[in-house]
Chains A and B, each alone.
Chain A
Amino acid sequence: MAGQFRGTYVSENALLPHQASTHFRESEWHIVRGFRSEIRDFKDLPERERNARLMGLFDEIGLKSASHDWQTSTTEGSQNVYSILHAPRGSHNEAIVLVAPWTNMDGEFNDGGMALLVSLARYLKKWSIWHKNLIFVVPSNPHSALRAWVGAYHTSLKYTAGSVEGAVVLDFASTSERFDHVEVYYDGLNGQLPNLDLINTLVKVADAEYVRCDLPGSGPSYHLYGQRLQTMAAGIFRQIVAGIKPGAGCEMFSGWRIDAITLRAVGSDGETGHDITTFGRLVESVVRSINNLLEHFHQSFFFYLLLGPRFFVSIGTYLPCAMLVSNSFLIMAIHIFASKRRSFSRETIGLTSMTLGAVGLASLMLSSFFVNAISSTTWRLGLFAAATSGCISARKLLGNDTKQAIYGTALTLYGFSLTTLSMFNFSLAFGLGFITIPLAWLRRVKFARSLIILLTCPVTVLGIAAWVMDIPLLDLIDSLIYAHKVLSVWTWQVITQIWLPMWFVGVIIY
């Protein structure tokens, strides 16, 4: 089985991936080791002291460095360190960001990444070629700390260095000095992906350095259909949970038109494999390519599904599939309106739309804005149960025609919402459409209506998702609300404003 996909290609001519020699090798390895030993020496110091030592390292290289204290609405708070290499004679209005968090996405100590970051800062300073400033960032974690830094960069940070054109997060957490291959993470919030050219550049560079480059959650056998399917499914899943489940760090740059990827060194137990400077050379080469850009990344695709490092499905190919799912609701709605001879009153339809909107807004407000007031589990579930039982009792009160009118209106609105959503966030729209498609068939099937209602219930699905992700349901809801409030992720809004009202309608009419 082949499938509808294409091979990737570098679209922007200016990138010139791996056209220049890389020199981060040989004695630079000794220096990486030196910085790594030094970082290990001060890693157990209190945060401020260790950050001061880290800033000292940047200072000795001759770079300007500063710390950034941050605090979120919760009690969480910490300190990040960043340092700026000003491009010689640069116009000082564009920058490339390199990030090495203290701990990586799995909470492991990222000393390799940090040592590479410092040695790269020292090494890259020797070049005169920079056109964009380079910013080296060491956040305390790749999640909230990095987000706080990116947010502060665009509002209140002490030193800024122009608009950020690209970002690379380095994850080299192994204790060894060697790695087998690299994994590239490319997720973004709300379906915003980095330009495909950035990934293509990295893949090409890795090729030239003889490093295998994989996508997370899959192996190297991309010639197999099953492997490609698995890679795509993993990509869709990661896109849905980006921002909700702690990610690799690159998604924290979403929202400011910054193309970001995370590079992760994998398989580093043995004495064989590539050495750590090879990883540095990958970064060096990618940074040089971004530096070559005269314009912002724009040539290649922003909407794609990757089946492998070199295979992708473009938006033109995958969008019809999401459209089919979301349009099935619309077709069902047209069927309801067309098949009924008697006309529905305009008032019912208008009232239904307004009620659905009000229900959506109310559920969003109740769930997120007053989250502190109703933080207890019983309260939330109680509200949900009350609303559901209200819907069940409404079934008996409403006449059949009215129910049909409500159903048709709800399906129309739901279909349009999903269609719009699929333009921006294919994964979420497709996933939601796929789960809720039985709701379109409620009046047609004769059996298992209760099962359909149960299976399409947001609470059930979130429960299953929580079980799959191995976290308590309430923690999942909390992170959904956190993502909505802090990272502006729409998923919670989609659940409460689109899915939940539709499901209530399902409860009323089944």
Chain B
Amino acid sequence: MLAWLLVLASGILASTNGESYHEDLVLRPLPKNKLLSSFRFVAEQRDPQLASGELTEYTTFPRSLGQIMSRASTHELHLRFSQGWWDAESWGVPPANGTYAGGVGVEMWAWVAGEDLADAQANWHRLAHSLSGFFCASLNFLDQTVTTHLESDALPRSGDSSDENLYLLRGALPAEPVCTENLTPFIKLLPCKSRAGIASLLDGHQLFDSQWQTMSVDVDHIGDRLRLTQVVSNVIDVPHMQRRRRDPLPRPEPYADLICKEREWSADYICLPDDPRSANWVISEIFDKELAPACPLAGDGPHVFVEASDNWTVKVGGNVTSGSVSFSLGSEPVDLVLSSEDGLVVLENKVPDVFVDRSFTGYGQQSGGLRTVFTNPHDVEVSLVYIENLPWYMRLYLHTMSGDLDIVEDISYTSAEDRTRPSKVQLHIRLPPLSQSSIEYKFDKSLLYIEEYPPDANHGFEVPPALALTSTGYSTRTTSLLLSLAVPDFSMPYNVIILTCTTMAMFLGSFVNLIVKKVVPEPLGEKILVESSLKRRIQAFKTKLIGN
């Protein structure tokens, strides 16, 4: 009750800041029994940092994030945490034209203010380190060697442009595993946390047992207002999820439960499996929870959108409808059931503007090639920007660029500097209708210093995904690649050290003996021993001092 009052009070107090908060969830069945769910949370308010004189506070926009950004003079921030592979060919375009979908791992780009590039990079450094602790991710590894400086207008800005001295910096960590520890701080940014509204479905166990999953945090300025957009999308294999609910292990089905196709050789002991086409997807079974009552701060508008073809029946509480439907959350928890006679029939997906596939060619530890295939599935020309950051230990040779070079209109290239900065290739490409073109370049693999190898050097080095942006606003990323470099035998230096030390020790003893000691006959030796004994020496010293 108290919490409710507080929320209400803060709502009244903050209304002077012109804040708003909105959340929505899109559920969409995809081909082959997959379910796409996309959660979006948008919080907006006047920027407290810009307010002069008036009483302004952080309300819907989280103070913690606001302070980090203002400390790092960051004007606009975009963060992506993703895992898995988006099957563009059968799933079509990711939600929001791919704007909120990231490549594998963690990706961050920001417009950072600074007097010059070095100053901006210092700010970027500060930002990455603060966010690293904030999101429990290794963002602090986004140092100079993996960060590229792009022209300010290379990536689309959701905010307005200002005449400030802004630098666009971008970096990615493809090897970063994204998991629940990143989700918790993400949920903490929401005004209702996961206690109310659609966020109640955000459960780590369910969210991360998906085929593909992405989380994004976008902060931008619109005029004097700050906007925070958080999106979580994932694709769930529903039969897989339902089976796992029954039994986490894929134990063989009981004989009686086998569903088989009819063939002339069919018998009790021969079964050509016939997986049922009907679907009955209960949201509380898939997400482990029902939809909680609406978050009081979220606007009235519909909160949940189901996008399905007409063969799907959608049951919300007691209401049954067919096809696409949208509804608002009330004050009671509600469950959602999607069912269909033929779950394989779904809404036709929007075909992406372009398919981009990148892979390594060649073999050996010395050199290799990078081949990118661009496919335009439409009968209209597509123009796009392809941005690729390659780590410095891939020594790229731009003159080896071959393939269908007539599609390339412009190249912007920054070469790598060893241990300082990655190389950047930015291609402006125009793809003819219904065409497939490929571009390949060659590179040499560098040898690293021994301390530069990570503990799992034989795993290979992840090359960050490349980014493609079309003129129509569709953005997509390629997969990351695994580059294997020549790896020394790490046990070898260890052996050598041990062997060398042993030999040194053995030789050193005898050497010292040889240098320091003198070989004399035994009687002489005893005489010297007696003469040089400590007692005699003290005696001699005394005599010298006092004089007998």
Contacts and interface: CB of A to CB of B under 8 A. Distances in A.
A491 B255 CA distance: 54
B462 A295 contact: no
Nearest to A95: B482
B241 to A, nearest CB: 9
A24 B249 CA distance: 11
Interface string B261-273: 1010100011111
Interface stretch (B80-88, B133-141, B282-290, B292-300): B80-88
A11 to B, nearest CB: 11
A343 B72 CA distance: 79
B258 A93 contact: no
B84 A30 contact: no
A88 interface: yes
A255 B363 contact: yes
A295 B459 contact: yes
Nearest to B482: A93
A23 B248 CA distance: 12
B435 to A, nearest CB: 15
B323 interface: no
Interface residues of B, number: 59
B462 A163 contact: no
A31 B371 CA distance: 40
B121 interface: no
B484 A89 contact: no
B482 A295 contact: no
B177 to A, nearest CB: 8
A30 to B, nearest CB: 4
Contacts of B216: none
Contact of B258 (A30, A38, A91, A123): A30
Contact of B480 (A31, A35, A93, A128): A93
Nearest to B249: A23
B105 A160 contact: no
A50 interface: no
Given A30-B270, A92-B84, A60 B211 contact: no
Given A23-B250, A89-B84, A295-B458, A126 B271 contact: no
Interface string A25-46: 1111111011101100100000
Nearest to A60: B275
A123 B460 contact: no
A256 interface: yes
Contacts of A155: 361, 371
A295 B255 contact: no
Interface in A1-39: 21, 23-31, 33-35, 37-38
A296 B484 contact: yes
A34 B361 contact: no
A26 B209 contact: no
Contact of A92 (B253, B265, B480, B484): B480
A291 to B, nearest CB: 14
B103 to A, nearest CB: 10
B426 interface: no
Given A23-B249, A89-B211, A128-B244, A64 B456 contact: no
B279 interface: no
Interface residues of A, number: 46
A90 interface: yes
A326 to B, nearest CB: 25
Interface in A100-122: 122
B269 A33 contact: yes
A89 B211 CA distance: 5
Nearest to B258: A27
A161 to B, nearest CB: 9
Contacts, number: 135
A150 to B, nearest CB: 11
Contacts of A90: 83-85
B237 interface: yes
A125 B33 CA distance: 13
A155 B360 CA distance: 8
Interface in B232-267: 237, 240, 243-244, 249-255, 258, 260-261, 263, 265
Given A31-B271, A37-B265, A126 B174 contact: no
B90 interface: yes
Contacts of B479: 91-93, 162
Nearest to A88: B211
B363 A37 contact: no
Contacts of B84: 86-90, 92
B217 to A, nearest CB: 19
Contacts of A28: 252
Nearest to B365: A257
B85 A154 contact: no
A214 interface: no
Given A37-B263, A64-B87, A27 B458 contact: no
Contact of B269 (A30, A35, A163): A30
A89 B269 CA distance: 36
Given A23-B250, A23-B252, A30-B255, A88 B237 contact: yes
A294 interface: yes
Contacts of A245: none
B87 A296 contact: no
Contacts of B195: none
A127 B240 CA distance: 8
Contacts of B258: 27, 30-31
B363 A88 contact: no
B270 A34 contact: yes
A15 to B, nearest CB: 13
B458 A128 contact: no
B212 interface: yes
B240 A128 contact: yes
Given A35-B272, A37-B265, A163-B460, A91 B254 contact: no
B140 to A, nearest CB: 21
A64 B85 CA distance: 13
B448 interface: no
Contact of B33 (A24, A62, A86, A294): A62
A60 B276 CA distance: 11
A140 B36 CA distance: 37
A1 B258 CA distance: 56
A33 B268 CA distance: 11
A89 B208 contact: yes
A30 B271 contact: yes
Interface string B211-223: 1110000000000
A163 B485 CA distance: 13
A298 interface: yes
A215 B269 CA distance: 33
A88 B270 contact: no
Contacts of A25: 252
30 contacts: A27-B271, A30-B269, A30-B270, A33-B270, A34-B270, A34-B271, A37-B265, A37-B270, A37-B272, A62-B33, A64-B87, A86-B84, A89-B83, A90-B85, A91-B462, A92-B479, A93-B481, A126-B243, A127-B250, A128-B209, A128-B240, A128-B244, A154-B361, A154-B363, A155-B371, A163-B481, A257-B363, A294-B456, A296-B459, A298-B487
Interface of B: 32-33, 83-85, 87, 89-90, 104-105, 174-175, 208-213, 237, 240, 243-244, 249-255, 258, 260-261, 263, 265, 269-273, 275, 357, 359-363, 371, 456-460, 462, 479-482, 484, 487
Given A27-B254, A31-B258, 9 more contacts: A26-B252, A30-B260, A33-B269, A89-B211, A92-B104, A126-B250, A163-B481, A257-B363, A257-B484
